[in-house]
Amino acid sequence: MSDPVAVRVLSVVLCAAAALIAGLIAGILTAAGGARPARAALAGGAAAVAVMPIALSVAATLRAV
Protein backbone atom coordinates (compact mmCIF):
# COMPACT_ATOMS: atom_id res chain seq x y z
CA MET A 1 0.00 0.00 0.00
CA SER A 2 1.40 3.36 -1.02
CA ASP A 3 1.39 6.16 1.53
CA PRO A 4 0.82 9.75 0.46
CA VAL A 5 3.91 11.91 0.33
CA ALA A 6 2.66 14.04 3.22
CA VAL A 7 2.50 11.01 5.50
CA ARG A 8 6.07 10.05 4.66
CA VAL A 9 7.32 13.59 5.21
CA LEU A 10 5.54 13.84 8.55
CA SER A 11 6.97 10.46 9.55
CA VAL A 12 10.53 11.67 8.88
CA VAL A 13 9.86 14.93 10.73
CA LEU A 14 8.52 13.00 13.72
CA CYS A 15 11.62 10.77 13.72
CA ALA A 16 13.88 13.83 13.55
CA ALA A 17 12.01 15.43 16.45
CA ALA A 18 12.40 12.28 18.54
CA ALA A 19 16.13 12.16 17.76
CA LEU A 20 16.58 15.82 18.68
CA ILE A 21 14.72 15.37 21.95
CA ALA A 22 16.89 12.37 22.81
CA GLY A 23 20.00 14.38 21.98
CA LEU A 24 18.82 17.30 24.08
CA ILE A 25 18.16 15.05 27.07
CA ALA A 26 21.58 13.41 26.68
CA GLY A 27 23.27 16.80 26.48
CA ILE A 28 21.47 18.10 29.55
CA LEU A 29 22.31 14.99 31.55
CA THR A 30 25.95 15.19 30.49
CA ALA A 31 26.13 18.87 31.46
CA ALA A 32 24.43 18.13 34.78
CA GLY A 33 27.13 15.55 35.43
CA GLY A 34 29.76 18.28 35.41
CA ALA A 35 31.06 18.02 31.84
CA ARG A 36 32.19 21.06 29.90
CA PRO A 37 29.69 22.53 27.40
CA ALA A 38 31.63 21.24 24.39
CA ARG A 39 31.58 17.68 25.71
CA ALA A 40 27.87 17.97 26.54
CA ALA A 41 27.14 19.20 23.01
CA LEU A 42 29.13 16.34 21.51
CA ALA A 43 27.32 13.81 23.68
CA GLY A 44 23.95 15.24 22.68
CA GLY A 45 24.86 15.23 19.01
CA ALA A 46 26.11 11.67 19.19
CA ALA A 47 22.89 10.57 20.86
CA ALA A 48 20.80 12.31 18.20
CA VAL A 49 22.83 10.69 15.41
CA ALA A 50 22.44 7.29 17.08
CA VAL A 51 18.68 7.60 17.59
CA MET A 52 17.79 8.88 14.10
CA PRO A 53 18.40 5.63 12.14
CA ILE A 54 16.68 3.61 14.84
CA ALA A 55 13.62 5.84 14.71
CA LEU A 56 13.54 5.73 10.91
CA SER A 57 13.78 1.94 10.85
CA VAL A 58 10.98 1.64 13.40
CA ALA A 59 8.82 3.99 11.32
CA ALA A 60 9.54 2.02 8.15
CA THR A 61 8.70 -1.25 9.89
CA LEU A 62 5.43 0.12 11.24
CA ARG A 63 4.55 1.47 7.81
CA ALA A 64 5.08 -2.00 6.32
CA VAL A 65 2.74 -3.68 8.81
Q: What is the pLDDT of residues 4-52, one digit of tens each?
A: 888 889 999 999 999 999 999 999 999 999 999 999 999 999 999 999 9
Model pLDDT, residue 3: 72
pLDDT of residue 31: 97
pLDDT band at 64 (very low <50, low <70, confident <90, very high): confident
Nearest to 41 by CA among 20, 10, 62: 20
The CA-atom distances, in angstroms, between 31 and each of 1, 27, 35, 52 are: 45, 6, 5, 22
Q: Band of the pLDDT at 1, cuts 50, 70, 90? A: low
